[in-house]
Amino acid sequence: MTLLIVGATGTLGRQIARRALDEGYKVRCLVRSSRRAAFLKEWGAELVIGNLCDPSTLAPALEGVTAIIDAATARATDALSIKKVDWDGQVALIQAAVAAKVERFIFFSILGAENYPNVPLMEIKRCTELFLAESGLNYTILRPAGFMQGLIGQFAIPTLEGQPVWMTGESSPIAYMDTQDVAKFAVKALSVPETHNRSFPVVGNRAWSGREIINYCELQSGKEAKTTNIPIGLIRVLRQTLRFFEWSWNSADRLAFTEVLATGKPLAADMQEVYQIFGIEPKEIGTLEAYLQEYFSRILRKLKELDYEKNKQKEVQAAKQKKKKMMY
């Protein structure tokens, strides 16, 4: 099987590539820049230059491809809009996959996308799900709620550095999952017939509120977080302002996601049936507690080592100064 991974340089995509290579798949990655994707080539993946937003590059990339795992999405910093990447680009990829007679198509959506028609990314994901289901491809749709990796920059680092941790009041709890574990489900779907033409939630064992995550970061770091609450109303005004400028549309559309968090409804799902179908044991899936414990343990150990080296250098400098004074 030749597997094409789209979005392989992203937080999730790189974990899927790593997992697929480890399991012996022949992996090809669609990338916009070979330089940025050099690490994928070092791992053993084949790189093919292409772009979702340039349909003419897709047919060559799909030659000989048996299956696609599509983890691509627009970043807030991208010059291209969410619509351009997550709708136009995805439609082009699905159409190209149909033309190339690709046997399997694994697509990443978002949990609960159908419930938020006024949130651009959620609505686009819902529409893409429908388009994929009607394409005739043998598909599987996976619906994560949030990735643990994003919590480091949002909560852990600001807590350690004494920087503000931004909050939106009582936001919806989210069942985060490590991208390494999400990758397990994506790659496993390739070999499990029961996943054909079905959609599945892929979420953590419990939903965490922002306040609970902050409390846990404080416990692990031994520091008190400086939280700053931002009123939802202010975010809505900011979003409307950003919509006036084309270059900031992505940021505005990302801010719309706060409407999801403002509902207070947990982004979580029962995973019991999913584990059974995929043949994955719940104990194989990491918890948020273990993820943050490992991060803080590693960082605090490194900080102690740096402090030790710093103090050692001070002692050496002090000894040199003392010796110099004795000479005179």
Q: Check residue 261 and give its pLDDT.
A: 73
Mean pLDDT for the chain overall? 87
How many residues are given for the chain? 328
Question: What are the backbone angles phi and psi of residue 318, rounded to the nearest 5°?
Answer: -65, -40
Distance between CA atoms of residues 215 and 292, nearest Å? 12
Q: Enter the tokens of residue 287.
A: 């918890």
Confidence of residue 4 (pLDDT cuts 50, 70, 90): very high
Least confident of 65-74, 134-143, 144-153, 229-238: 229-238
Percent of the chain's residues with pLDDT above 90: 68
Closest CA to 123 of 78, 87, 72: 87
**45 token code pair:** 């993946």
Nearest to 200 by CA among 168, 222, 177: 177
Q: What is the dihedral of CA 270, 272, 277, 281, to 10 degrees?
A: 130
Q: At 310, is the pLDDT very low, low, confident or very high (cuts 50, 70, 90)?
A: low
Residue 251, Cβ neighbours under 10 Å: how many?
15
Q: What is the C-alpha to C-alpha distance for residues 310 and 103, in angstroms, rounded to an integer?
A: 58
Give the dihedral sign, CA 280/282/284/290.
Answer: positive
